[in-house]
Amino acid sequence: MSMYDDIEKVLLTEEQIRARVKSLGAEMNAIYSDDDLPLLVCILKGAFMFLGDLTRHLNFRHELDFMEISSYGKSTKSSGIVRILLDLESSIEGRHVVIVEDIVDTGYTLDYILRNLGTRHPATLRVVTLLNKPSRREVEVPVDFSGFEIPDEFVLGYGLDYAEQYRNLPFIGVLKPEVYGKI
């Protein structure tokens, strides 16, 4: 049985993602310049693939750093309780910071990150997310660059997991319901 047999449907194809990531890069190229020397903060683990593709479309000088925030574990529902598992290596005081997220769902995670990084006095703090589920929002959060608005479904692939698996799928898809009990 292949991993691909577990997929009920593909929501966003590899080609759709490639095109949108490129245009998100163009949106960011219009805002930032070399002099800003922005710091892109990749939120692990889900945003790693998005960051890898996005960074290659940016034509301004920038630096990268990584932060890991506790996830839902095996659950597909948000607990609203968030913890830092890995913190930034760099100081962000006076820096132009861009948070790179895979998906904004209820908004709790991003709200926590924004408040936490906000206390470190960055010059500017913006957010780029590949996916956005506005219908699920419980806390209002500012999103500066948003790739795709998607319906209220649990998605995976292109960096996003279910129980740490399926991150390597090149598309964004939805699992067959019967898979949830098995993993």
Catalytic center residues:
105
Cβ distance to ligand 5GP smaller for residue 109 or 146: 109
Size of the site for ligand 5GP (CB under 6 A): 18
71 binds ligand 5GP (CB under 6 A): yes
103 binds ligand 5GP (CB under 6 A): yes
106 binds ligand 5GP (CB under 6 A): yes
Nearest approach, Cβ of residue 150 and ligand 5GP (Å): 8
161 binds ligand 5GP (CB under 6 A): yes
Tell me the CA distances in angstroms from 85 to 43, 48, 66, 82, one per residue in order.
Answer: 11, 16, 11, 10
Nearest approach, Cβ of residue 1 and ligand 5GP (Å): 21
158 binds ligand 5GP (CB under 6 A): no
Nearest residue to 136 via CA among 173, 167, 97, 109? 109
Cβ distance to ligand 5GP smaller for residue 27 or 138: 138
Per DSSP bridges, beta strands 39-44 and 63-69 are: parallel
Tell me the CA distances in angstroms from 91 to 41, 65, 100, 101, 119, one per residue in order.
Answer: 12, 10, 17, 19, 12
6 binds ligand 5GP (CB under 6 A): no
Cβ distance to ligand 5GP smaller for residue 42 or 160: 160
Cβ atoms of 146 and 177 within 8 Å: the answer is no
154 binds ligand 5GP (CB under 6 A): yes
Q: What residue has token string 């957010």?
A: 127
68 binds ligand 5GP (CB under 6 A): no
104 binds ligand 5GP (CB under 6 A): yes
Q: What residue has token string 């960074």?
A: 55
Nearest residue to 33 via CA among 124, 136, 128? 124
Residue 167 sits at the vertex; the CA angle it makes with 88 and 65, to the nearest 5 degrees, is 15
Sites of contact with ligand 5GP (CB under 6 A): 46, 71, 78, 101-110, 154-156, 160-161
